[in-house]
Copies of this chain bind each other. A is one copy, B any other.
Amino acid sequence: MRHNQVLLGHGSGGKLSHDLITNIFIKYFNNPILKQQTDSALLNIENQHIAYTTDSYVVDPIFFPGGNIGKIAVAGTVNDLAVSGAKPLYLSTGFIIEEGFPLKYLEIIVKSMADEAEKAGVLIVTGDTKVVDKGKCDKVFINTSGIGVLNEKLLDISSGVNIGIGDKIIINGRIADHGMAILSARNELNIRSTIESDCACLNHLISAVVDSGINVKFMRDATRGGLATVLSELASGKNYGLSIDEAGLIVSEPVKGMCEILGFDPMYVANEGKVVMIVDEKDARSTIKLMNDNPLGREASIIGEIVGEHPGKGWITTGIGGKRIIDMLAGEQLPRIC
């Protein structure tokens, strides 16, 4: 590259754009489909049922312990496809970059995206870059969209219709790491911690369970709004209730401490590598075991079950035996968490 910083011309569609595409995007997102450099990527889909999703990422700061905006942009979209019952295949990516952004940072971010895509087994096949004048955006925002092929057994996985009383609610590990890692990475609070984001692609962990033949009845990733939001959305309007036992939830000591100091409830803090899965009681142990075999599921645990009581609501039993309702987050707990 002939420059150290992103210039407005890098978003022009002209020569500088071509330099950027060739020297950064194609260099790292190296695949024959992207290399065609056509207006649209041309894809072969092996199945007529596909899943399609999008998310924009505006996380602040863009680099944080455990990841960066590029890693999260790939993992978040891969996870949305995976929890929808699809095998993630292809991603698109759209960059909005602030004029003057250091190209070396862009390169680190793009390389993270490429690494994460490789781990997940997906290809980044089409993209776009816009550059806005200094002060008109905050460093870099990334949109990814994704396409996956649906597993025909999992067409109802997001609806919760297959859930029955007695089913077990499982999560693949500790909660609230991502939100607290981001918060402590922001200089404003003057907090130092060792907390790392859990940001990761969950598709292989999920397929290990699904492909084993276990009848997974529901899946969702617990991102913005945390575990509580997944549970309250799931319960809403249903003729069953969710009973969560706080004792089953793993929260690391540094995260617990930070949440206490700052007045956060870990149940509402964002994760970027956690999936909530619901399975039949008889399958719960084997699900945990399959998850444990994957580094992203070493701390998988049963956190609760489906009950006939309090239909439409989730309740949590706290360590001291109290009970409280799991409600949806009213406002914004932590802006720009992803």
User: Which residues from chain A sit less than 8 Å from chain B, CB to CB?
Assistant: 7-16, 18, 36, 38-46, 48-58, 60, 80-81, 83-84, 86, 90, 92-96, 125-128, 130-133, 135-138, 141, 143, 145-148, 150, 155, 158-159, 220-221, 223-225, 229, 328-333, 335-336
**Which residues in B have their C-beta under 8 angstroms from that of A53?**
39-41, 92, 126
Chain B residue with the shortest CB-CB distance to A16:
B331
A80 to B18, CA, bound (A): 18
**Which residues in B have their C-beta under 8 angstroms from that of A95?**
56
Chain B residue with the shortest CB-CB distance to A133:
B335
Asked, given contacts A39-B221, A220-B39, whether A54 binds B331 with beta carbons under 8 Å apart, the answer is no
Instruction: Identify 12 new A-B residue pairs, CB closer than 8 A, beyond the known A8-B332, A137-B137.
Output: A12-B331, A14-B229, A14-B331, A16-B330, A39-B80, A40-B148, A43-B49, A43-B52, A44-B48, A54-B94, A58-B137, A147-B147
Contacts A/B (CB < 8 Å), 5 sampled:
A10-B332, A13-B229, A40-B146, A58-B137, A143-B145
A48 near B45: Cβ-Cβ < 8 Å: yes
B41 near A52: Cβ-Cβ < 8 Å: yes
B143 near A52: Cβ-Cβ < 8 Å: no
**Which residues in B have their C-beta under 8 angstroms from that of A43?**
49-52
A222 to B303, CA, bound (A): 55
Which 6 A-B pairs give the minimum distances between C-beta atoms? A13-B224, A14-B329, A9-B331, A54-B92, A40-B51, A40-B84
**Which residues in B have their C-beta under 8 angstroms from that of A332?**
7-12, 14, 16, 131
**Which residues in B have their C-beta under 8 angstroms from that of A126?**
52-54, 145
**Least Cβ–Cβ distance between A138 and chain B, in angstroms:** 4
A333 to B128, CA, bound (A): 18
**Least Cβ–Cβ distance between A271 and chain B, in angstroms:** 12
A143 near B56: Cβ-Cβ < 8 Å: yes
**Which residues in B have their C-beta under 8 angstroms from that of A125?**
52
**Which residues in B have their C-beta under 8 angstroms from that of A86?**
40
**Which residues in B have their C-beta under 8 angstroms from that of A127?**
54
Asked, given contacts A229-B14, A332-B16, whether A94 binds B39 with beta carbons under 8 Å apart, the answer is no
**Least Cβ–Cβ distance between A95 and chain B, in angstroms:** 7
Chain B residue with the shortest CB-CB distance to A38:
B158
Asked, given contacts A8-B335, A40-B81, A83-B39, whether A14 binds B328 with beta carbons under 8 Å apart, the answer is yes
**Which residues in B have their C-beta under 8 angstroms from that of A51?**
40-43
A125 to B49, CA, bound (A): 14
**Which residues in B have their C-beta under 8 angstroms from that of A15?**
328-331
**Which residues in B have their C-beta under 8 angstroms from that of A229?**
13-14
B7, B13, B94: the one within 8 Å of A223 (CB): B13
**Which residues in B have their C-beta under 8 angstroms from that of A333?**
12, 14
**Which residues in B have their C-beta under 8 angstroms from that of A145?**
54, 92, 94, 126, 143, 145
**Least Cβ–Cβ distance between A41 and chain B, in angstroms:** 5
B7, B42, B329: the one within 8 Å of A331 (CB): B7
